[in-house]
Structure 1
Amino acid sequence: MAAKFLAGDSIQPYPEQLPEKHSVPVPGTKRPGQTAHYIHGIWGFLDPTKHSIRVVPDIFTSGIAKGRDRPFLGHRPVVSKQPLKFANHYEWQTYGQVDIRRRNIGSALTHLFNTGAVGGGDLPTVGLWSINRPEWQIIDIGLTSYKKVGVSLYDTLGKDSVEHIINHAELTIIFSTLDHIPALLKMAPQIPVLKMIVSIDPLSPEISKVFTEWGQIHNIVVKDLSEIEALGQANLIEPIPCLPSDIASIVYTSGTTNMPKGVVTTHGQFASGVVTNLLGLEMTEDSSVFSYLPLAHIYGRINEMASCAIGARIGFFTGDPLRLIEDCQILKPAFFPSVPRVLNRIYQAAMAAADVPGVKGDLFRKAYQAKVEKFRTTGDNTHWFWDKLVFRKIRAVLGGNIMMMSSGAAPLSADVVNFLNVAFSCYFAEGVYGMTETCGVGSRSFKGDATAAGTVGPPQSSNMMKLVDVPSMGYTSEDLPCPRGELHVRGANCFSRYYKDEKTTAETVDDEGWVRTGDVAEIDAKGRFRIIDRVKNIIKLAQGEYVALEKIENVYSTCPAVMQLYIHGDSLQSFLAGIIVPDPAQLAPIASKIYGKKIAPEDTDTLKAACTDPQVNKHILGMLTQEGKKAALKGFESLKRIHVTLDPFGTEDNTMTPTMKIRRKDAYNKFKKEFDAMYALGEPKL
């Protein structure tokens, strides 16, 4: 049965016959130096006042209206700590149970703020520092139901950023998992604003005594969640009504150079983002979404809000990325929102398993080719015969019930997009584009669009888009055959300010409410947008040529061998050099072919040695060169030398942000010796 969200607001499916234009220009909006304003080609431009979900509490109200006894939040309980082992089933809290708990938590917080035990800042802000788990959602629902402003601390944030956010947002109370409480108490002298820590995990009498005494030294009260819920039950009040203009959350973006910026997000912006995501959503009310994308970031959060609105279930991962597949096989989710690094792994593992000699390999290749051709011709990614015979086993990897997958954060190669479409026979929304500043939504490709690979689709109905000339880079709205320019977004989902940062706000949002994304895009003949460059990260090589580093990284990142890469350019040098972190599953067959013997992806020592082999380096550089030629990179834009390593970029050494963006300065410093060595060799001769 198709889901509905509140009376009169039925979810509209995509039409069987897609329109020729996926987005259309609004008449009379074209101006010199910019394109017209483009809106969704099916649903047009959303009027948030005409939908019953107008503030964040309406989302939970919509979900619980389907039935208080419906399963809502699930997790795999721990059955053994030594060794760590999880149950082979999910345990669920119902919508009714969550309703009771959110009321207790919200009432307790209202009491604490009213009595002065916490609070005192400009806003009633409350911190939340936890990985994805049921309590994260319960606390957040409690906050928004009682007009408190949630502020998430990333699980992978460095100490300096945590201190900055706590002081900047004036967090007087923080809900935290047990493992982060010592860190909060250690930094207490640097965060004098903090008055209370609430442990999400139960505290044993011994641990509670230690934390209580430690906290007293710094005038910080330490409680656990059960105490807060009991306090709320004793001081119970009804949820506090709010307006679309009220602040729901401050979401801190992970900066690649400076401290995180606080995006002020209102109830209306969240509601708009949820409603636009419900258009075309084909989950049923008894289906589930898999929760592993960090809820501290907007992408995972907005997807789970949409699932709640239709009364669906949210199943949380165990916290260990190595158990993702196991979790999925037990949960059997219908919706799998994801990111390229995970989807690339699924693709590579499946293709490696299918790349076998004999009848089995021939059968897979025949089935795959037949489905790809049908999809490209008709937009239908199902096949009555091949799905049962061949692709059933691939679907089983993620539980066998996938109805929708999505990918955000970075581009995927056309090969991966085609594979995910035909292997899982589901709606794969490859073109998902959004920012924290646009509440995680912005554009999305149509279901059944077989030529969407490489695009981010048309604007979603919550917002409109336009392109503005970037003369310094040679991009204009008059370019043929496709208009090009910096992508600007405006709509009910778009933010209006950074918290306590007027200067950066003025640089990002113009007087008409358009958000400057910093991304350069083009609009194709169907009205789909394609991200082609970045306004920033432009460098000039020694010969005077300008190079857009992120654009080139996006090209090379589609190479199957690449798991991570960083490209460096220098105004004192005439060519580009790069650091390549290969995927072991792809490096192993390359090394096996070169050495003439079988090398397994798990043979780390041999693969580390292979990274230093000039033959392996040459082979991988050749693969990258082919990707560059396919994208028509100019000679000066092409990688000329690479260093291959299994030492990845990560948050631990500060070379990546928590949202997996390269910190360019730190990445360069990590491999400065290797870059110096590559440049010392000079540019290779043809």
Structure 2
Amino acid sequence: MADIHPLNDRWPELLPYEKQSLISPGPGKPGHSAVYPHITLDDGRTFTHLAQIFERGLRVAGPNAPYIGYRPAVSTNPLKFADHFIWSTWGEVAKRRLDVGGGIENLFSSGDAVKANGLETVGLWSANTPEWRIVDLALPLYGKVVVPLYENFGPDSIEYIINHSDLSVIFVQPQNVSTLLSLSPKLPTLKTIITLGEIPEAARKIADAWGKECGIKILTLNEVEAIGAKTSLPPPPVTADTIATICYTSGTTGNPKGAVLTQGALAAATYSNLSGWDLPPDATPVMLSYLPLAHIFGRTLELNVTATGGLIGYSTGSPLHLLEDLQVLKPNTLPAVPRVLNRIYQAIAANLHAPGLKGVLFRRGVAAKLERLKQTGDHTHPFWDKLVFNKVRAIIGGRVDLVGSGSAPLNPEVLDFLRVALVCNLIQGYGMTENCGTCTRPFPRDPTAAGTVGWPQPVNEIKLIDVPSMGYSVLDKPCPRGEICVRGANCFSEYYKNPEATKETIDEEGWVHTGDVGLIDEVGRFKIIDRVKNIMKLSQGEYVALERIENVYAACPVVQQIYVHGDSLQSYLIAIVIPDPVILGKIASEVWKKSVGEKDLRTLDEAVKDEKIVKAVLDMLTKDGVRYGLKGYEFAKRLYLTNELFSTENNCLTPTMKVRRKVVQERYKAELDALYALGEPTWSTTLSKL
């Protein structure tokens, strides 16, 4: 990969761990830190637009090598998938992207799709599939603007985004055709629906007739490809400034904002991410795609694999089959988010309490490997891996070498534990939709990186600015603190049709104000410590960052989901916890002196109402809070337990699985009020030790 970035061929044996960021010459403005660029000061890029990324992968892999694949279903009742992937080659995908792109170009030429506000926008509403990747390769090739929609978006969000982005044509899975036709009276711009799979003959006749009544044409992907193959329209010229996508953020409040990202921005992010692509020499990247491709994190990772000529296997889409997908594909590269990694951690960490020889060996192995990790940064161990951890590693396929975590902070203790238990390089980077998910990442093998997000990426420069209302200053000692601002070729240009929000986020010098509060440690690594907006003040004047506290508690084995709540008229925090059914069953069994299983739903519903069980859960959270250094006023003092999960269906979660705080607060208003009505507890066995 020398033609992408000089550090990709071989990282030096000794990296400059003691000086991971440079400081640009000259003082910063008052209230602003100095500017921190990437340590290599490398602003050269291999890619300027997206077609070059695919073309490089094709050149590296060759036209006959496998590229994208899926596991076919072999049974629907019960649902069962094949023990292998079916692959499309690079050459096959190269032809299909031309045919799909040419077919869409023909639709715009014929009037079955129309340009609006100077853009030819095309929607893509689907789960992760090989067809998603083909369409996303084809549309930018022909200068079209991809508008991805989350698979689990509800009708209101679908209606808003289609109208806001002026979509006249949209790719969907067959089961979503009826939803769009039902909404069609509210979708004046929509002219053509293209299904990513075939529609059964009887259903197709109904869809065609219904579509005709609505003035909407129904096509299949194969039909669009046939049009493209017949007309053979050549791709028009594109540049780095050609808009590639409008990526709608699934915000926790209000309507989503559409971040406009150019082909140059995505190309710069891909180049930047490949700096530090730390796989073994000569390893071809193999990745399981399961994180939503409408989210920028999963999408940019697929571009990384594409640029290196790798393979992308698409998951079955069922959480129950995720581990099975991993064991069949055996990837060496795995994207992840804390909600997934916390569940894996909780499952593996249970072995720390295993009885007998098994528990002894596991505890000794973890201790030995953690000591080695903190001294050298090496997550392997010749003895303990062979004896214990290669079996654990087999859970996720047995070959994973690189796990990238994004979306939210991961507890440092969880990160280091998983590095040694899964025998992999687990790194936690930092980015957001507005910079193509690319901003900072740690050095490979940095022994003390846990809890930080590393150094600036090659195309980025970063600075901090004061947040006086929260007491953060760039003059703080020993570490400057403030809101993170980022600038670079990978940053977005505007929020679509939202100049007010654009002005609030991008200043006159081109700095993107992220809303995240960070610090710069003594060696130049960045650490996310807060959110500018997601804080509240308790009645005695203490500021608390609720999401940070939730991240601390999320690693506790009993927690499946959690919402920490504060009221500025109260002096303490409370929380709603959805407990893990396995752990809840164990707690109930101990309290009630009878066996309670994880599938005994009626008994578990009784358990969450038992005051003794609630107290046992609170004690577990409190002990974790003590261990991770929460301050006294940061502890949740009272809990409400429920077995009803936060979900996109009840609108408590965004499509990226973030808690909609206002929705949860309203939904559980009575329960939260009742907890505060009890008053602040006068004592706590664990808190009294603080």
Q: Report TM bin, short chain.
A: over 0.9
Once the two structures are TM-superposed, the CA of residue 8 in structure 1 deviates from its matched residue by 8.4
Match of 2:101 in 1: 106
Tell me the TM-score normalized by structure 1.
0.96
Once the two structures are TM-superposed, the CA of residue 307 in structure 1 deviates from its matched residue by 0.2
Deviations 1:612-650 (A, max 9, x none): 222222222222223333454443333211112221211
Contact 1:9/1:51, CA 8 A, preserved across alignment: no
1:268 is the counterpart of 2:264: yes
Q: 1:546 to 1:10 in 2, by over 3 A?
A: closer
Once the two structures are TM-superposed, the CA of residue 541 in structure 1 deviates from its matched residue by 2.9
SS of residue paired to 1:93: strand
1:405 is the counterpart of 2:437: no
Once the two structures are TM-superposed, the CA of residue 29 in structure 1 deviates from its matched residue by 4.7
How far apart in 2 are the matches of 1:287 and 1:496?
31
Match of 1:58 in 2: 52
Q: 1:13 to 1:608 in 2, by over 3 A?
A: farther
Match of 2:574 in 1: 577
How far apart in 2 are the matches of 1:428 and 1:551?
21
SS of residue paired to 1:490: strand
1:552 is the counterpart of 2:552: no
SS of residue paired to 2:577: strand
Q: Please list, as runs of the form range in 1=range in 2, the aligned pairs for 1:412-423 lying within 5 A after superposition.
A: 412-423=410-421
Once the two structures are TM-superposed, the CA of residue 181 in structure 1 deviates from its matched residue by 0.8
| Alignment size in residue pairs | 678
Contact 1:303/1:337, CA 8 A, preserved across alignment: yes
From 601, 605, 609, the equivalent of 1:604 is 601
Contact 2:125/2:150, CA 8 A, preserved across alignment: yes
How far apart in 1 are the matches of 2:571 and 2:337?
34
Match of 1:247 in 2: 243
Q: 1:528 to 1:599 in 2, by over 3 A?
A: farther
From 301, 304, 309, the equivalent of 2:302 is 304
Match of 1:163 in 2: 159
Superposed CA RMSD in Å reads: 1.8
Q: 1:286 to 1:550 in 2, by over 3 A?
A: closer
Once the two structures are TM-superposed, the CA of residue 544 in structure 1 deviates from its matched residue by 4.1
Letter matched to residue 387 of structure 2: L
Q: Please list, as runs of the form range in 1=range in 2, the aligned pairs for 1:215-254 lying within 5 A after superposition.
A: 215-254=211-250
1:464 is the counterpart of 2:432: no
Q: Which moved more, 1:56-65 or 1:231-240?
A: 231-240
Once the two structures are TM-superposed, the CA of residue 313 in structure 1 deviates from its matched residue by 0.2
1:142 is the counterpart of 2:143: no
SS of residue paired to 1:428: strand
Once the two structures are TM-superposed, the CA of residue 566 in structure 1 deviates from its matched residue by 1.1
Q: Which moved more, 1:324-333 or 1:570-579?
A: 570-579
Q: Please list, as runs of the form range in 1=range in 2, the aligned pairs for 1:2-13 lying within 5 A after superposition.
A: 4=1, 11-13=8-10
How far apart in 1 are the matches of 2:242 and 2:152?
29
Match of 1:503 in 2: 500
Match of 2:364 in 1: 366
Once the two structures are TM-superposed, the CA of residue 661 in structure 1 deviates from its matched residue by 1.4
Letter matched to residue 35 of structure 1: S
Deviations 1:178-235 (A, max 9, x none): 1111100000000010000011111222111110000011100001111111000111
Once the two structures are TM-superposed, the CA of residue 7 in structure 1 deviates from its matched residue by 8.1
How far apart in 1 are the matches of 2:670 and 2:100?
53
1:200 is the counterpart of 2:175: no
Contact 1:175/1:199, CA 8 A, preserved across alignment: yes
Match of 1:27 in 2: 25
Contact 1:348/1:585, CA 8 A, preserved across alignment: no
How far apart in 2 are the matches of 1:312 and 1:606?
48
Contact 1:6/1:62, CA 8 A, preserved across alignment: no
Letter matched to residue 533 of structure 2: K
Structure 2: gaps (5+ residues): 684-690
How far apart in 1 are the matches of 2:443 and 2:224?
45
Match of 1:334 in 2: 332
Contact 2:100/2:135, CA 8 A, preserved across alignment: yes
Runs of 4+ in 1 over 6 A off after TM superposition: 7-10
Q: Which moved more, 1:528-537 or 1:127-136?
A: 528-537
Match of 1:350 in 2: 348
Letter matched to residue 525 of structure 2: R
SS of residue paired to 1:434: coil
Letter matched to residue 83 of structure 1: P
Q: Which moved more, 1:609-618 or 1:538-547?
A: 538-547
Q: Which moved more, 1:387-396 or 1:281-290?
A: 281-290
How far apart in 2 are the matches of 1:225 and 1:182?
17
Contact 2:24/2:36, CA 8 A, preserved across alignment: yes
Contact 1:255/1:657, CA 8 A, preserved across alignment: yes
Once the two structures are TM-superposed, the CA of residue 683 in structure 1 deviates from its matched residue by 1.0
How far apart in 1 are the matches of 2:350 and 2:199?
46
Deviations 1:136-170 (A, max 9, x none): 00011000111111001111112111111101111
SS of residue paired to 1:226: helix
Q: Please list, as runs of the form range in 1=range in 2, the aligned pairs for 1:613-628 lying within 5 A after superposition.
A: 613-628=610-625
Once the two structures are TM-superposed, the CA of residue 9 in structure 1 deviates from its matched residue by 6.8
Contact 1:254/1:658, CA 8 A, preserved across alignment: yes
Contact 1:12/1:279, CA 8 A, preserved across alignment: no
How far apart in 1 are the matches of 2:222 and 2:79?
25
Deviations 1:571-610 (A, max 9, x none): 3333221101222343344334434455443443333322
Match of 1:563 in 2: 560
How far apart in 1 are the matches of 2:19 and 2:479?
14
Match of 1:214 in 2: 210
Q: Which moved more, 1:407-416 or 1:67-76?
A: 407-416
How far apart in 2 are the matches of 1:372 and 1:525?
23
Once the two structures are TM-superposed, the CA of residue 488 in structure 1 deviates from its matched residue by 0.8
Q: 1:318 to 1:38 in 2, by over 3 A?
A: same
How far apart in 2 are the matches of 1:563 and 1:367?
27
From 409, 421, 430, the equivalent of 1:433 is 430
From 291, 302, 315, the equivalent of 1:293 is 291
Deviations 1:30-61 (A, max 9, x none): 222111111233x33x42xx332211111100
From 467, 473, 486, the equivalent of 1:476 is 473
Once the two structures are TM-superposed, the CA of residue 247 in structure 1 deviates from its matched residue by 0.2
Tell me the TM-score normalized by structure 2.
0.95
Once the two structures are TM-superposed, the CA of residue 255 in structure 1 deviates from its matched residue by 1.5
How far apart in 2 are the matches of 1:320 and 1:307?
23
Once the two structures are TM-superposed, the CA of residue 458 in structure 1 deviates from its matched residue by 1.4
Contact 1:428/1:447, CA 8 A, preserved across alignment: no
Once the two structures are TM-superposed, the CA of residue 550 in structure 1 deviates from its matched residue by 2.5
Match of 2:688 in 1: none
Letter matched to residue 59 of structure 1: I
Structure 1: gaps (5+ residues): none
Match of 2:394 in 1: 396
SS of residue paired to 1:257: coil
Q: 1:26 to 1:558 in 2, by over 3 A?
A: farther
Letter matched to residue 403 of structure 1: D
Letter matched to residue 454 of structure 1: G
How far apart in 1 are the matches of 2:536 and 2:678?
21
